[in-house]
Chain A
Amino acid sequence: MEKILAIDDEEDILNLIRDILSAEGFEVETSLSAEYGITLLERYSPDLILLDLMLPGMDGWEFLRIIKSDDRFKDIPVILLTCRGELRDKVLGLESGAADYITKPFTPDGLIQRIRTLLKEKEDGQNR
């Protein structure tokens, strides 16, 4: 079973994500803050991370920077989930190392599809 780590400061969103992804067969771990997210990373080793950018305390960009410069975590695909839909943010996000970018509100189907695509890519990459 594949493990997903979701980080967002809204509890309802985390619940939604958990419900949607559990119904699809994923194992989901959630965190309300980026700092706690880092702690979870070490304990949990997820296969994919869903990351909101606007977080209290350490923000999403900082978190992304930290994990991408850490050899243990830099290969975990990250999908950015955020309200800011401007092209500039998307490009910046992808350049910072994120694998994909979804704007809120999102459709559950859209989310699931993106996750599956990325996990498959990662798998193909590993098998090569």
Chain B
Amino acid sequence: MRRVTLRNRFFRSMFIFSSILSVVFFVYFYFSVRRIFLNQLIETSKLHTVFIVNTFGPRLDEGLRGVGEVKKIRSLLYHAREEHFERIVVYNMSGEIVVDTDGGVLPEEFSPEEIRGVKYLTRFHKNTLLILQPYISSNGEHRYTFLFFIPLEYVGVWNLRFFFSLLLWFIGLIVFLFIVSEWHASMVTRPVSELSRQIEEFKKGERSEIKVSTGTEIDDFARFLSGVLTDLNFSLKELVRLNRAKSDFIAVVSHELKTPLTAAKGYIDFILSGKAGKITKKIKNNLEVVGRNLSRLEDRILNILKFSRGEVVGELRFEPVSLNILVEEVLIDNRRRIEENGLKLIKILEKGLPSVYVNREKIREAVENILDNAIKFTDNGYIEVRTYQENGEIVLTVTDSGRGIPEERLESVFERFTRFDLTRSGMGLGLAIVKEIMEAHRGDVQIKSRLGEGTTVMLKFKLGTEGNHGKDTGNR
């Protein structure tokens, strides 16, 4: 739809309407005036026609006996026309023309009956008034009929000049209507114009608030709009501020967390390298655990930071990994914790499982997260870890006899920051991370649970190198 301002629309409709109205008026006016004129003309002409008929009527009887006389009458009649008549024609009672001031074709024919029977007739032909007037002799006999031609121009008023001045008046009126419509439209739509002007200024940044006082409902609209815009602006600024604060926070946290880690890891490596002094094998093994955990801590910090920034998995390097060995390692690391919680550990790892092509650290992290949850939410009972092969997939399940998750919460369990049980520690990122990791490996994670009956989490890996080709899942 073409865009047009309210003012223009208003102006256009007003102008067109009033113009049509004035055209109609003018046409009516023109024809009314014309009719009045004609009537006036007829009235004034009567004087002259009567005069001529009465003057010449009697002469005609005498004069028509001789041709010379006819010519004389004709000449006299010709002059009698003065400025009133263009032509005068005289008929006799047989319908023949006896005198004609001019020659030529008659614009209108009259029948003998009309000529004989006429009392007084006016007719309007093109722009000429025709008057038929009979000559009644003194003894009451209808002897002749005079036909008078009066063109409207002869009136003096009704001519081209008059028409042009009328046209000029008409044009003047149109211009006047134009100006009035323009003014009126402006006046009526001023509130709207004012509003759009202020909006334009606001958009350009020259104005921070929109306010009109026109005394119409537009004022309320403007107030509402202004309120909305101000709120939006404010929210936007807030958003930008918070975002910046978040970035700063991440930078600070990053630094604060990585620094102690650097010192700790550095020293562990240093000691393990033997350069601090000789160490026993036992010490070496224990320190290796510490070192591994510190690395894990480092990974988690990086993950959290990436999560906060919006990236998730990042780039992954893959290698063939024995799932069983990885699971064993995780279990060993957590053995103490499982015992402390009074839980029984059941391990059913299928022998001879083919390797999975994965990123070792990520999968370890996933397994740890799942195990962590199992330990956290199981007060007593057992944790069962199983690995097996099925339908071209390697499956790892972790089942616990814990408190379980209600069915309606099951779907949102993989969402970030959702926690079912707030009494336990954790950020709610664990399973979300697991899901991201499995997606990056083109694998799958499933969860089955019932409130009060425990939970089973299942990780599925496709066999073969194509299956587990992961990639950066992209920034959020």
- Measured CB to CB, the residues of A under 8 A from B are 10, 12-13, 15-16, 19-20, 23-24, 54, 83-84, 104-109
Contacts and interface: CB of A to CB of B under 8 A. Distances in A.
Contact of A83 (B259, B266, B275): B259
A16 B267 contact: yes
Interface of B (DSSP majority class): helix
Nearest to A24: B275
A54 to B, nearest CB: 6
Given A19-B276, A23-B276, A13 B251 contact: no
Contacts of B267: 16, 19
A20 B255 contact: no
Contact of A13 (B263, B269, B270, B273): B263
A64 B331 CA distance: 48
28 contacts: A12-B260, A12-B263, A13-B259, A13-B266, A15-B263, A16-B267, A19-B267, A20-B266, A23-B270, A23-B276, A24-B275, A83-B254, A83-B255, A83-B259, A84-B251, A84-B255, A104-B258, A105-B258, A105-B261, A105-B265, A105-B266, A105-B298, A106-B266, A107-B265, A108-B266, A108-B269, A108-B270, A109-B269
Contacts of A84: 251, 254-255
A20 B262 CA distance: 13
Contacts of B276: 19, 23
B277 to A, nearest CB: 10
Contact of B275 (A20, A104, A106, A107): A20
Closest CB pairs A-B (n = 3) = A12-B263, A105-B262, A23-B275
Interface residues of B, number: 18
Nearest to A19: B270
B252 to A, nearest CB: 9
Interface string B276-288: 1000000000000
A83 B301 CA distance: 12
Interface string B233-275: 0000000000000000001001100111111011101100101
A107 B269 contact: yes
A23 B266 CA distance: 14
Contacts of A20: 266, 270, 275
A105 B265 CA distance: 7
Contacts, number: 54
B437 to A, nearest CB: 21
Contacts of A109: 269, 273
B94 to A, nearest CB: 122
A89 B298 CA distance: 20
A24 B275 CA distance: 9
Nearest to A111: B266
A106 B251 CA distance: 18
A104 B259 contact: yes
A45 B241 CA distance: 45
Given A19-B270, A84-B251, A13 B275 contact: no
Which of B258, B263, B265, B276 lies at the interface centre, i.e. has the most chain A CB atoms within 10 A of its CB? Answer: B263
A94 B70 CA distance: 130
A88 to B, nearest CB: 13
B263 to A, nearest CB: 4
Contacts of B298: 105
A108 B263 CA distance: 10
Given A16-B267, A84-B251, A108 B259 contact: no
B110 to A, nearest CB: 110
Most buried by A among B251, B258, B276: B258
Contacts of B251: 84
Nearest to B277: A23
B266 A10 contact: no
A102 B14 CA distance: 78
Nearest to A14: B263
A23 B276 CA distance: 8
Given A23-B276, A84-B251, A108-B273, A16 B259 contact: no
B249 to A, nearest CB: 14
B329 to A, nearest CB: 21
Contact of A10 (B254, B259, B275): B259
Contacts of A107: 265-266, 269
A30 to B, nearest CB: 14
B248 to A, nearest CB: 13
B256 to A, nearest CB: 9
Contacts of A10: 259, 262-263
A104 B254 CA distance: 10
B255 A54 contact: yes
Nearest to A52: B259
Contacts of A54: 255
A12 B258 CA distance: 13
A108 B276 CA distance: 12
A10 B255 CA distance: 11
A83 B259 CA distance: 8
Given A12-B263, A105-B298, 15 more contacts: A10-B263, A13-B262, A13-B266, A15-B263, A16-B267, A16-B270, A20-B275, A23-B275, A24-B275, A84-B251, A104-B259, A105-B265, A106-B266, A108-B266, A108-B273
